[in-house]
Amino acid sequence: MSGAIIRTGRAVLHVTDLEKARDFYVEGLGFIETESTETELYLRGLEEHNHHSLLLKKTGEAAIEAISYKVYAESDLDSLYEQYLQEGLQPIWLAKGDQHAMGRALRVQDVSSLPIEYYAEMDSVERMLQRYDMYKGARVQRIDHFNCMVRDVEEAYGFYTEKLGFACSEYTATEEERIWAAWLHRKQTVHDVAFMNGEGPRLHHVGFWLNDPLALIHACDVLAAKGYSPSIERGPGRHGLSNAFFLYVRDPDGHRIELYNGDYLTSDPDFKPIRWGINDPMRGTFWGHEAPDSWFNEASTVLDVKTQDPVEIKKPVLKQGKPQFVI
């Protein structure tokens, strides 16, 4: 199954007030509203031709229903289903028609208990890339990655690289060469998913790619003008890891969004992962203000794919002894 997954696909977020969410995401950040109902808001970036990359659902509590990856073909879903069964992880099916604008989908709680979704088909819509008259806010172009807090990064790293065909671009290691965090990719950029050591499983943020650094600066101006200055949590700045020019914002329910630009190509077969020492201050902040405590401690609750109950959060684990995986 190493070639089945193409890229990060979409995120399904639960929010408590759809109108507040619309104002923040559409008027503030500049997402395109593809479609909406009284309880759902389908959003996409200007570059995207799929129906949505962000689905906001109105519920009583803010949470993460699923983070999704797009696969090449329907047959890949069947293969993934069998693979997860063999791993004892009990995947479930969502039939075509169960979700608006979507084909059949597979959902599963992965080895870190994150709610993962795979799909092959989604309705196509007009690409707005050259509709410059519609550019506003952050001018969001496309979804880029997920960042997840998990209690055992090495376990997640091993499963995603050995079972799902992800490759590592960069990683943070302790002095004992334990993997503290890892940036893994399927598309040919730095990451589709990152795993951070912490209390988990939780979703730290969803990253969206912007076409230039000025879009991030403009987003700050627009958010401030609309009264969202307190929602700007960290940045602008540049990470050492990934070389990303970044801005982190919190939506009205506290979900964290990263506005992201400036990473690099990872497609060469002889590309070697970049190691960062855990005590290197430039890995997180190449330049810019240090992250606030909230950036390290707060993240979104994830839900069980079967019961829709919050998944229990557990303390992080760093194994003793020699590293289990060699990068």
Beta strand 256-261 with 142-150: parallel, antiparallel or unpaired? unpaired
* The pLDDT of residue 317: 86
User: Do 104 and 181 fall within a single domain?
Assistant: no
According to the 3-state scheme, what is the secondary structure of 8-33? EEEEEEEECCHHHHHHHHHHHCCCEE
Domain boundaries, position 157: 142-301
User: Do 255 and 162 fall within a single domain?
Assistant: yes
Residue 125 lies in a domain: no
User: Do 91 and 187 fall within a single domain?
Assistant: no
Cβ(191)–Cβ(243) below 8 Å: no
User: How many other CB atoms sit within 10 Å of the CB of residue 104?
Assistant: 18
pTM: 0.95
Which of these three, 86, 119, 152, is where a domain ends?
119
Beta strand 40-44 with 32-36: parallel, antiparallel or unpaired? antiparallel
Question: Tokens representing 141?
Answer: 């172009």
Residues 6+ positions from 220 with CB-CB distance below 8 Å: 232, 236, 247
Residue 323 lies in a domain: no
User: Do 254 and 171 fall within a single domain?
Assistant: yes
Q: Which among 161, 162, 187, 188 has a CA at the least distance from the CA of 70?
A: 187
Residue 309 lies in a domain: no
User: Do 149 and 281 fall within a single domain?
Assistant: yes
Residue 127 lies in a domain: no
Question: Tokens representing 54?
Answer: 């962000």
Taking 50 as the pLDDT cut, the residues of the chain under it are: 320-322, 326
User: Do 112 and 152 fall within a single domain?
Assistant: no
Q: Provide the phi-psi class of 185: left if phi over 0, else alpha when psi is between -120 and 50, else beta.
A: beta
Give the total number of structural domains in the chain.
2
- Residue written as token pair 């229990």: 312
User: Do 284 and 197 fall within a single domain?
Assistant: yes
* The pLDDT of residue 318: 75
Residue 317 lies in a domain: no
User: How many other CB atoms sit within 10 Å of the CB of residue 5?
Assistant: 22
- Residue written as token pair 């707005």: 128
User: Do 169 and 77 fall within a single domain?
Assistant: no
What digits encode the pLDDT tens for the residues 152-170? 999 999 999 999 999 999 9
User: Do 228 and 101 fall within a single domain?
Assistant: no
What digits encode the pLDDT tens for the residues 179-222? 999 999 999 999 999 999 999 999 999 999 999 999 999 999 99
User: How many other CB atoms sit within 10 Å of the CB of residue 302?
Assistant: 26
User: Do 163 and 67 fall within a single domain?
Assistant: no
Residue 158 lies in a domain: yes
Local structure of residue 185 (DSSP, 8 states): E
Residue 308 lies in a domain: no
What CATH number is given to the structural domain containing 15? 3.10.180.10
Q: Which among 137, 127, 140, 257 has a CA at the least distance from the CA of 210?
A: 140
User: Do 238 and 284 fall within a single domain?
Assistant: yes
Residue 267 lies in a domain: yes
User: Do 26 and 66 fall within a single domain?
Assistant: yes
